[in-house]
Chain A
């Protein structure tokens, strides 16, 4: 089931088209990566969801009905460019932002205490924001975003400004939130983080959603039918056996084993390859090579640029 369904969304600015009939579905309780080069229209789309700007055409359905402005209580948005009042105290500011999201003062206070302890910034409660490092400010902003336990969370480049340790902490928390039932939109350029956390992606390029779906499905779709194999046996015999029906891309020795990358032709499958080799070779490992997400990403963008 989809928590959010955008269909035919168009947004024009004075001199350019920011979104061109975009359809995006955000499945419930999953993490959807919103990807795309700079200026592709990601932020515009997120702002439309957040009721900051209105689409010129198209509709956004939230839980199956048109989204309304009170739904923002059910959305937590961590913008890419984010700041805090420098002169304000950390705790006070966190309470302020939480109350703007509809929490009561006491509620906000107790929840914030919990999260501040969890992120090990409790000691900074009474410090001014300007005394905090950038990473700590990011933590505060993350906390404020998730504090009111919204059903939909939108993170725009959540890892920027974090060291690897804290980035990992954050990743764990994001997965945790999903576990607890949250639906998450995750906008980023960082492909490795996409593969680590996302279930689905939607690739936006030049105002259009050009690629969307489950990550595993997409990898299948964009794979080259390559197989990596490790084996023990005579190399010449190996070449001879495969000659004609298989394409050997790479061949070498690793860890006293031979390894090879093989491109399967149309009618071949991994099973056929295994049965061909099983008699004469000791196979220690075989697996399908799936493309990394950035390969998929680049291919899709190139393809769509070519089509235009």
Chain B
């Protein structure tokens, strides 16, 4: 077997068989799904603390307007003029609503008093209740026949706006800005995370070989360049394995969620009828429909094209950063010495994630353009722009420059590495590393 294949094989297997890798790979999608479920759950769970709101209605017009909900209790009080607002709040009311006159005459004649900040839920509820009461009253004052029928008709008017873009071939495509942004963010962050995580793993691997003097044993049977590339490729394959498993596991998780927790529309249609008759919002059915809709949109957004580009930018970006990290690993004696070299490598990476965030607002601006061409930032920034239909020539240019850069950087890192791995005890500086580079050119 070819030596470099042997090295790749060892680097790959030694990492993939680690318990920490297996646990991370299997648990991450679960953890991820768990977090999403938790957030969703917490959002649906309103504050379970029951709130009691006192209502002092001086106008006497709204004595039946406020109806208690599950968590908000409205109590009408009648203290007359001697209203001690603060005293009242201390007696167990969470808030106090005071209505002074007819609100149709004076819109500001209603106040809400409280000691602590009132949640938006409560404010919304109060506003909603009083507004709909006033609206109904106003409508009734027009004395229209068959009012209820007409209102029903009005309520049925609800446009479903579909955003359709034309692509270059002139085909129509349904899209959703929100989905694009989510995919962009996810891709950019994932790439950032993988580059950082696996780049530093390369560095650590090189340092391990150097400080444990393994490299002395290896170097008589393999070329330094083979050792370096074997390590970089092996670890890169570990990353791709992890990524693939995450995708597969996530798809399985989505499938399970889809079929068990959010059933498809046909299955819930009966449920909708029941809930509609109960006049409460058909939450479950809504969520399910929305969920399926999102899945549909994701599949529509050319997800395989995006994954393909993700893989390319991952490989290109990984090679650019991994070779630099390998050079750093070879230049130092232990991990604590890496700081001065690592910082300038990580900076563009961090910068790229900031630019990527900005690119969501202006995906075709000049900042987004230039940073998706510069090889150190292009992988992350370009990934964040991809869902917004980047012109093909930009993608090709960016890919070309990235490819060229990793070839040049591999050549550079190979030279530094060759000298660096056999240098001990020297305090390495940029000047020193440059000297190694020049020297090994001979």
Contact = CB atoms under 8 A, between A and B. Distances in A.
Contacts, number: 56
A14 B439 contact: yes
B127 interface: no
B106 interface: no
Contacts of A84: 212, 214, 217
Given A88-B14, A100-B3, A100-B6, A52 B212 contact: no
B422 interface: yes
A18 interface: no
B217 A79 contact: yes
Nearest to A93: B10
Given A50-B220, A69-B223, A83-B212, 13 more contacts: A14-B435, A50-B219, A54-B442, A79-B216, A79-B220, A83-B216, A84-B214, A84-B217, A85-B214, A86-B212, A87-B14, A88-B14, A100-B6
Interface string A89-128: 0000000110111000000000000000000000000000
Interface string B6-29: 110010001000000000000000
Contacts of B221: 72, 97, 100-101
Contacts of B216: 79-83
A22 B245 CA distance: 57
B222 interface: yes
Contact of A83 (B10, B213, B439): B213
Contacts of A81: 213, 216
Contacts of A297: none
A75 interface: yes
A96 B5 CA distance: 11
Contacts of B169: none
A8 B8 CA distance: 39
Interface of A: 14, 47, 50, 52, 54, 56, 69, 72, 75, 77, 79-88, 96-97, 99-101, 141, 144
Contacts of A52: 219-220, 422
A83 B220 contact: no
Contacts of B7: 100
A100 B2 CA distance: 9
Contacts of A97: 217-218, 221
Contacts of A77: 220
B278 interface: no
5 contacts: A85-B14, A86-B212, A96-B10, A100-B218, A100-B221
Q: Report the contact-size class of chain B (Cβ under 8 Å from the partner).
A: 20 to 34
Contacts of A101: 221
Contact of B217 (A54, A56, A75, A83): A83
A100 B219 CA distance: 10
Nearest to A96: B10
B157 interface: no
A79 B220 CA distance: 9
Question: Interface of chain B, helix or strand or loop or mixed?
Answer: helix
Given A82-B216, A82-B217, A100 B222 contact: yes
B1 interface: yes
Nearest to A86: B212
B209 to A, nearest CB: 8
Nearest to A87: B14
A77 B213 CA distance: 14
A56 to B, nearest CB: 8
A12 to B, nearest CB: 10
A119 to B, nearest CB: 17
B305 to A, nearest CB: 40
B330 to A, nearest CB: 14
Given A14-B435, A14-B439, A72 B220 contact: yes
| 10 cross-chain pairs, A with B, having the tightest CB-CB distances, nearest first | A83-B212, A83-B213, A79-B216, A77-B220, A81-B213, A100-B221, A83-B214, A50-B220, A101-B221, A82-B217
B6 A96 contact: yes
Q: Which of B218, B439, B442 has the most CB of A within 10 A?
A: B218
A3 to B, nearest CB: 17
A99 B217 contact: no
Q: Which of B1, B217, B439 has the most CB of A within 10 A?
A: B217
B10 A141 contact: no
Q: Which of A14, A52, A69, A100 has the most CB of B within 10 A?
A: A100
A56 B439 CA distance: 11
Interface in B192-243: 208, 212-214, 216-223
A56 B219 CA distance: 20
A144 B220 CA distance: 12
A206 to B, nearest CB: 20
A50 B223 CA distance: 11
Contact of A79 (B6, B213, B223, B442): B213
A85 B1 CA distance: 21
Contacts of A56: 442
Nearest to A77: B220
A82 B213 contact: yes
Contacts of B3: 100
B220 A99 contact: no
B368 to A, nearest CB: 43
A88 B220 CA distance: 20
A305 B3 CA distance: 45
Nearest to B438: A14
B1 A75 contact: no
Nearest to A14: B435
